[in-house]
Chains A and B, each alone.
Chain A
Amino acid sequence: MNWDKFIVDGLKHGDPLIIGAVVSIVLVSIAIVAGLTYFKKWGYLWREWLTTVDHKKIGVMYIISALVMLFRGGADGLMLRMQLTAPEMKFLTAQHYNEIFSAHGIIMILFMAMPFIIGIMNVVIPLQIGARDVAFPRLNAVSFWLFFFGAMLYNIAFVVGGAPDAGWTSYFPLASTEFSPGVGNNYYAIALQIAGLGTLMTGVNFIVTILKMRAPGMTLMRMPMFTWSTLITCIIIVFAFPVLTVALALMMFDRLFGSQFFTMTNGGMDMLWANLFWVWGHPEVYIVILPAFGIYSEIISTFSRKNLYGYKSMVASMAIISLLSFLVWVHHFYTMGQGAAVNSFFSITTMLIAVPTGVKIFNWLFTLRKGKIVFTTPMLYSLAFIPIFTLGGVTGVMLAMASADYQYHNTMFLVAHFHYVLIPGTVFAVIAGMYYWFPLIAGFKLNERQGKAAFWTIAISFNVTFLPLFFLGLDGMTRRQYTYSAETGFGPLNLIATIGSVGLMIGFALIVYNIIWSFRHAPRETKGDVWDGAGRTLEWATHIPVPVYNFAVVPEVDRLDAFYFAKKEKRSLFKDKIEKIHMPSNNGQPFILGAIFFFWGFFMVFSMWKSAIVAGIGVLILLAMRTFERDHGFYIPVDEVKKTEQSYGGDSV
């Protein structure tokens, strides 16, 4: 066997950054294994986490993975900024720069933003609709482990074999075997495929959960806004992700089996990849932004002490966005050479999206109007989101004009635009959501003083980092260029941007410190409705930390924000007696399935067919086992539920 193909070029050339990465990965792995063995936590890890089907624990694992990936992608971003600090920097080589910006994009969108959003959905959605778990708890675990092992497969590319280097979009013909002969883009095709399957299943799971498992009395128009946004997001997932699945499969055939879908000869069409990628890619943008809108709606309404302004128009605008999101994809490649009529059409549909988005912005502003605003950390993120996101949106309308886009296309102006939409839109939202819903899982709030310090550091540094990029782009600096000469005059603004990125790093480090500090010192909450009794939706109606069965008695809902009005009118949402509770049992198969997929993917990347076939058979065996398995879950007896309820102090129910 030839081991040479597993060794990345950086190691062969003795690149200190790659050696450092390899050494740190090995050291961290050893430390984790040693730590688990020393503290005798292997059994705990397997029983409580790796085999769990509890939506809350799966959500926590999603969020932890996303935070780890945030730091991996953030380190990538910092390295990119370091390289661009001054003209002619020698920090990264051109090849290494290509690999890092590809990794930064993929990781931040698919392995940070998506799982963070899905993690929050997992924790919150069943609680918000008064359910005890998602519709298919076991499938939920499969989703998580497919995402996790897909992400891991992508992450080892840097140290085993070679990283993808054709951008996060991996445009053909650059991504073809002709121009990218290494295994890097095989990793792209297969790791994304595995993770994408997980996402698709999540979409199905949450649609069924929301449509079928709502508490009695909760009609569609009585659902909290975050639940609405999740439902619409999942519909977009179910319709958009199959396109990615097909496109990646065709890419895999092209790269591994010599088919000609995206080549420039033999009837292939390289532009078809860009087309399919964005047919998925643009809805993907809304997949990460719509749940964020939902999170902001919840937070702004809670901390303005008012009901959400324009509930129906919020729902309608999201439905319109979900349809329009499938009608705009060509705006990502106006300059590809299609006719003026095509560009004009997609230009207009793109600008149309600003209308429902504008409706939402005004709804939030009217929710704030005359509200008794409480400046908590999640509220600060939400308030900062509105102006910063609007700036991102307005520059988006500038980019939407096809003729003007010939100037902006692939410049730093575009880079600045999408960071201005995605960071306040998604990153601020998931952090705000994490602060807001943290007590549900942990039983305590994150420290507010530290949280606010982190917020101001991040909000200011964000603008210092990305505002200069608008001007750099207008001056003609293109994206993905790894260096520039002093004569271009790009130096000073780039230096400012790099200083800002260091500030961002400090801000995110402060959040980690905040979490660790709060775990040790934050006062534990005693009752459920922790935000000074301002909670409006059902997740605040149960105890904190939420018991494994969520609600001892299923709540009954008679209107929007039922929990808030029940508190006001001093009645209870819980009418029934405690009965035995049916729960799904834990199972290790999803984890094992994910692990086998990981090996299958690895063998496919390196074209090791026999091993890949064996791993593929392993997948089929596990699926067959699941088909013939009879597992009806178990019941928590009434006594045990009562005992758990009393341990919380027992005044509710």
Chain B
Amino acid sequence: MMKQLFPIGHVMGFIFSLVLTLVALLVVYTDMSYTMGMVILVSTAVIQATVQLFMFMHVNESKEDKNTLYINIIYAVVVSLITIFGSLWTLVWDW
């Protein structure tokens, strides 16, 4: 009974995201190389996004019509890549 009522997925997701945030924070508070810091930041960010998608946004729950899901994810990835690399191109690389 308790098992059905207790939102174990949500609580786990919440704890995961707190832990991931703390790990990311280590980059600021400890002395590590730039590459090391970047590796930690990028990997925690990717895991964080995955945790959010599965634990809170129910990405694995749609039964019918997976195509819409894939189109949405592709659109999201394309828009974010455009934003990130467009910004880098404009502000940093500058050629």
Contacts and interface: CB of A to CB of B under 8 A. Distances in A.
A275 B75 CA distance: 21
B83 interface: yes
Interface string B56-86: 0000000000001000000110010011001
Given A327-B82, A330-B86, A239 B91 contact: no
B80 to A, nearest CB: 8
B75 A279 contact: no
A272 B92 CA distance: 10
B83 A243 contact: yes
A271 B90 CA distance: 10
A276 B88 CA distance: 12
Interface in A178-218: 211
Contacts of B31: none
B94 A339 contact: yes
A28 interface: no
Contacts of A276: 87
Q: For chain B, what secondary structure do more than half of its interface residues adopt (helix, strand, loop), or is it mixed?
A: helix
B89 interface: yes
A653 interface: no
A326 interface: yes
Contact of B91 (A211, A275, A341): A275
Interface residues of B, number: 13
B6 interface: no
A266 interface: no
A339 B94 CA distance: 5
Contacts of B68: 211
Contacts of B95: 339, 341-342
Contacts of A330: 86, 90
A275 B91 CA distance: 8
A502 interface: no
21 contacts: A211-B68, A235-B75, A239-B75, A239-B76, A243-B83, A269-B91, A271-B91, A272-B91, A275-B87, A275-B90, A275-B91, A279-B83, A279-B86, A279-B87, A326-B82, A326-B83, A339-B94, A339-B95, A341-B95, A342-B90, A342-B94
Given A276-B87, A338-B91, A342-B90, 10 more contacts: A239-B76, A243-B83, A269-B91, A272-B91, A275-B90, A326-B79, A326-B82, A326-B83, A330-B90, A339-B95
Interface of B: 68, 75-76, 79, 82-83, 86-87, 89-91, 94-95
